[in-house]
Amino acid sequence: MIAIVCPGQGSQTPGFLSPWLELPAFRTRLESLSEVAGLDLVAHGTTSDAETIKDTAVAQPLIVAAGLATAAVLLPDGPSSALGVTAGHSVGEITAATLAGVLSDRDAMTFVRERGQGMAAASAVTATGMSAVLGGDPAEVAAALERHGLTAANANGAGQVVAAGTLEQLAALAAEPPAKARVIPLQVAGAFHTHHMAPAVEALTALTEGFETQAPSVSLLSNADGAVVSDGPEALTRLVRQVSSPVRWDLCMQTMVSMGVTTLIELTPAGTLVGLAKRAMPGVTTLALKTPDDLAAAQQLVTDQTDASKD
């Protein structure tokens, strides 16, 4: 069984879409998504600098559009029996839900546009951020976060927790890290998946009242608890709530293992989720689809799985 996974904010780097835009199908899809987002995602994926694409209102539509355009090249006929499960980390869950057919391209880009803008506005109220905590005893890490008033916004598994809160709280954690742990500031502009994002949740709740959804065509995992979501409206509700709730990517990986996933392919901008899978999903074949140079290998994995499913 193949899992297609979709990365979240912070995975983007300047110019990461330049080689992809040489593929006509990719460029066409990206330009179409740009129109809905009201952003020049071609420019942001090729010539915009690191500070520009760090902006939440830019980064989120850019990452979702990049994933959808990559999927259009990898799976030109859409998901098939070869794709057993899909999941996305944070904003990548929108990519996954769209790939699974829950949302249309238009609704997905409208949603992520407003999500990015709403979270950027919420982040501007108080100076907040996020830091990865790598290693350390889990109980000691949890105690340190509680002591400094921080939230474990991402439980990523493989010994990685992302702490979120005010910049002062994060600085205090960095000055007094848990034993045998490293604290690394992340290139994001706010305390995502915490109570600081409540205003964005309210706006998205109102926005999505008119959305039409479909049941997922493949197994779609939820960031909330790693559960398979089979109902379109429930998937959308979870996407809205996720903005101010912790991401349990550790549970998503556990679910994939329990489902019998044998191959994991991460869509562009790839690398982060494959890195976590290599440590937390031993024995699973992984591929980070970073550039078109990786496309042939990814397509071969899909072909092999398709052939195996027919036997």
Whether residue 104 is found in the same domain as residue 246: yes
User: For 222-257, how does the pLDDT look when each residue is reduced to its tens digit (9 = 90+)?
Assistant: 999 999 999 999 999 999 999 999 999 999 999 999
pLDDT tens, position by position, 251-284: 999 999 999 999 999 999 999 999 999 999 999 9
Residues 203 and 93 in one domain: yes
If asked whether residues 58 and 7 sit together in one domain, one would say yes
Say what the pLDDT of residue 81 is: 58
Q: Clarify whether residues 94 and 114 are in a common domain.
A: yes
Domain stops at, among 139, 159, 185: 185
Give me the sheet containing 181-185, strands edge to edge: 151-157, 160-166, 128-135, 181-185
| pLDDT tier for residue 12 given thresholds of 50, 70 and 90 | very high
**119 and 145 assigned to the same domain:** no
Where does a domain end: 136, 165, 185? 185
Mean predicted confidence (pLDDT) in 45-65: 94
For residues 148 and 294, membership in a common domain is answered with no
More confident site: 289 or 189? 289
Domain identity same for 174 and 281: no
Last residue of a domain, one of 145, 163, 185: 185
Confidence (pTM): 0.93
**Mean pLDDT for the chain overall:** 93
Q: Are residues 130 and 114 in the same domain?
A: no
Asked whether residue 216 carries a pLDDT value surpassing 90, the answer given is yes
Task: Identify the pLDDT of residue 205.
Answer: 94
pLDDT at 112 over 70: yes
**CB-based burial label for 41 (10 Å; 0-12, 13-18, 19+):** buried
Question: What is the number of structural domains in the chain?
Answer: 2
Confidence class for position 189, pLDDT limits 50, 70, 90? confident
- CATH code for position 166: 3.30.70.250
20 has pLDDT over 80 = yes
Q: Do residues 56 and 143 share a domain?
A: no
pLDDT attached to residue 242: 95
Please tell me whether residues 120 and 145 are part of one structural domain. Answer: no
Is pLDDT above 70 for 82? no
Active site residues: 90, 193
Residues 246 and 298 in one domain: yes
Query: What confidence category does residue 310 fall into, taking pLDDT thresholds of 50, 70 and 90?
Result: low
CATH number at residue 211: 3.40.366.10
Phi, psi for 124 (deg, rounded to 5): -75, -15
Between 38-47, 63-72, 198-207, the lowest mean confidence (pLDDT) is in 198-207
pLDDT value of residue 158:
77
SS (H, E, C) the chain: CEEEEECCCCCCCCCCCCCHHHCHHHHHHHHHHHHHHCCCHHHHCCCCCHHHHHCHHHHHHHHHHHHHHHHHHHCCCCCCCCEEEEEECCCHHHHHHHHCCCCCHHHHHHHHHHHHHHHHHHHHHCCEEEEEEEECCHHHHHHHHHHCCCEEEEEEECCEEEEEEEHHHHHHHHHCCCCCEEEEECCCCCCCCCHHHHHHHHHHHHHHHHCCCCCCCCEEECCCCCCEECCHHHHHHHHHHHCCCCECHHHHHHHHHHHCCCEEEECCCCCHHHHHHHHHCCCCEEEECCCHHHHHHHHHHHHHHHHHHHC
Model pLDDT, residue 303: 86
**Residue for token pair 């830091």:** 131
- Boundaries of domain holding 148: 125-185
| 31 and 176 both lie in a single domain | no
